[in-house]
Amino acid sequence: MVDLTERKRAEEEIRESERRYSEVQMELVHANRVATMGHLSASIAHEVNQPIGATLNNASAALHWLSKEPADLDKARDALNRIFANGNRVSEVVGRIRALFKKAPLRKEDVDINEAILEVIALTRGEVVKNGISVQSHLGDGLPLIQGDRVQLQQVIMNLIINAVEALSAISGDPRELVITTGKGEPDGVLVVLRDSGPGLSSLGLERIFDAFNTTKPGGLGMGLSICRTIIEAHGGRLWATATQPRGATFQFTLPARSNQAS
Ligand code: ADP
């Protein structure tokens, strides 16, 4: 009896510290998002700008040598060769950056989507309350487990909630509401729906918002939704947006159930 009680307590403690760990991690993810992206873009820009500048100079030199009477073909050829070398350098830099991101393998653990959502709702409560928003959750029963990276999936949910909070903060007068629903997806798996009563997605199209660097916010990066879609697709799911009636935006994503479970 004593053994069992102690084991149970120890297990609870582990769970609690895991939860705290993930809380801290989520906060860091959020706080660091802008800083990391800014830093990363600055170093990519630095690596890529120099060969692009050299390419432009060489292109104008080549045009100059070709426009001479008679054209100086040797000098034009040299300039074109330097363009070639610089082009190769840019594509090497891009290749190295891609390899860097591919290295991190996707973690595969069992994820209860409802639990993951409730944790993110708890983490975002401060922002929600501060902006006078009501968040309702309708979480379905008996949903299958997802296999994947819990922190990455929570990053997606967090991004969608923060986007909704930012959109809702822009309206005045009407109620600011966000409704989060989960249910069974087709043919199996889960469907998560976030419906807000904000201004909706009028100025950028329903698809363009998912492209990187598309933003309508003064300090925005426009990377959030593009990263969200990449994460959901890496988990075998789909993420899309529709308009909410009478107004607002709806974001939905599906995730397949863990493959070896009966659903
Ligand atoms: P960012 O938040 O940095 O702008 P995102 O990729 O997350 O980048 O979003 C891109 C754009 O999509 C936003 O600038 C905004 O115009 C639009 N958007 C995203 N979510 C919502 C929403 N819930 N309601 C209205 N517009 C939204």
Give me 130's structure tokens: 């501060």
In this predicted structure, the answer to whether residue 124 has a pLDDT above a threshold of 80 is yes
8 A C-beta contact, residue 161 and residue 124: yes
Ligand 1, pocket-test mutation among 162, 176, 225, 244, most atoms within 8 A of CB: 225
Q: Do the domain assignments include residue 193?
A: yes
* pLDDT of res. 79: 95
Q: Do the domain assignments include residue 15?
A: no
| Same domain assignment for residues 161 and 198 | yes
In this predicted structure, the answer to whether residue 188 has a pLDDT above a threshold of 90 is no
Considering the chain, what is the average pLDDT of its residues? 86
| Same domain assignment for residues 172 and 72 | no
CATH for 138 = 3.30.565.10
**Crossing angle for the helix pair 2-67 and 150-169, to the nearest 10 degrees:** 70
Boundary of a domain, candidates 37, 72, 98 = 98
* pLDDT of res. 31: 57
| Ligand 1 interacting residues, C-beta cut-off 6 A | 159, 163-164, 167, 196, 198, 200-201, 204, 209, 214-217, 220-226, 249
How many domains does the chain fold into? 2
Instruction: Report the percent of the chain where pLDDT is more than 70.
Output: 87
Phi-psi region of 175 (alpha: psi -120 to 50; beta: other; left: phi over 0): beta
* pLDDT of res. 56: 95
Q: Which long-range contacts (CB under 8 A, 24 or more apart) does 92-97 make?
A: 93/44, 93/47, 93/48, 93/51, 94/48, 97/44
* pLDDT of res. 114: 96
| Same domain assignment for residues 88 and 194 | no
pLDDT, tens digit, 9 for 90 and up, residues 221-230:
788 898 899 8
* pLDDT of res. 103: 58
Give CA–CA dist 209/215, Å, rounded.
7
DSSP state of 263: -
Number of the ligand 1 atom closest to the C-alpha atom of 164: 23
* pLDDT of res. 262: 43
The mean pLDDT of 192-214, rounded to a whole number, is 86
| Same domain assignment for residues 55 and 113 | no
What are the phi and psi torsion angles at 135 (to 5°)? -110, 125
Specify the range with the lowest mean pLDDT, choosing from 60-64, 69-73, 86-90, 191-195.
Answer: 86-90
The mean pLDDT of 109-137, rounded to a whole number, is 91
* pLDDT of res. 206: 78
* pLDDT of res. 211: 87
DSSP 106-150: PP-EEE-HHHHHHHHHHHHHHHHHHTT-EEEEEEPSSPPPEEE-H
Boundary of a domain, candidates 80, 98, 116 = 98
In this predicted structure, the answer to whether residue 78 has a pLDDT above a threshold of 80 is yes
CB crowding 179-210: b at 16 or more within 10 Å, else e: bbbbebbeeebbbbebbbbbbbbeeeeeeebb
For 114, the domain range is 108-262
In this predicted structure, the answer to whether residue 263 has a pLDDT above a threshold of 70 is no
| Same domain assignment for residues 92 and 121 | no
The mean pLDDT of 129-134, rounded to a whole number, is 92
The mean pLDDT of 76-80, rounded to a whole number, is 95
pLDDT, tens digit, 9 for 90 and up, residues 9-68:
888 887 777 777 666 666 666 555 556 666 777 777 888 888 899 999 999 999 999 999
Give CA–CA dist 114/141, Å, rounded.
9
In this predicted structure, the answer to whether residue 261 has a pLDDT above a threshold of 60 is no
* pLDDT of res. 83: 93
| Same domain assignment for residues 196 and 146 | yes
Nearest CA to ligand 1 atom 20: 163
pLDDT, tens digit, 9 for 90 and up, residues 84-109:
999 998 888 888 777 766 656 677 89
Q: Do the domain assignments include residue 103?
A: no
CA–centroid distance, residue 14 to ligand 1 (Å):
37
**Crossing angle for the helix pair 150-169 and 113-130, to the nearest 10 degrees:** 30
Q: Do the domain assignments include residue 119?
A: yes
DSSP state of 17: H
Q: Do the domain assignments include residue 161?
A: yes
| Same domain assignment for residues 85 and 209 | no
Give CA–CA dist 173/198, Å, rounded.
11
* pLDDT of res. 30: 57
Q: Do the domain assignments include residue 29?
A: no
| Same domain assignment for residues 147 and 76 | no
In this predicted structure, the answer to whether residue 196 has a pLDDT above a threshold of 80 is yes
Give me 67's structure tokens: 């426009």
Out of 210-214, 231-235, 243-247, the most confident range is 231-235
Question: How far, in Å, are 27, 47, 89, 118, 253 from residue 94 at the CA level?
Answer: 30, 9, 9, 38, 30
* pLDDT of res. 98: 76
| Same domain assignment for residues 258 and 136 | yes
Nearest CA to ligand 1 atom 19: 163
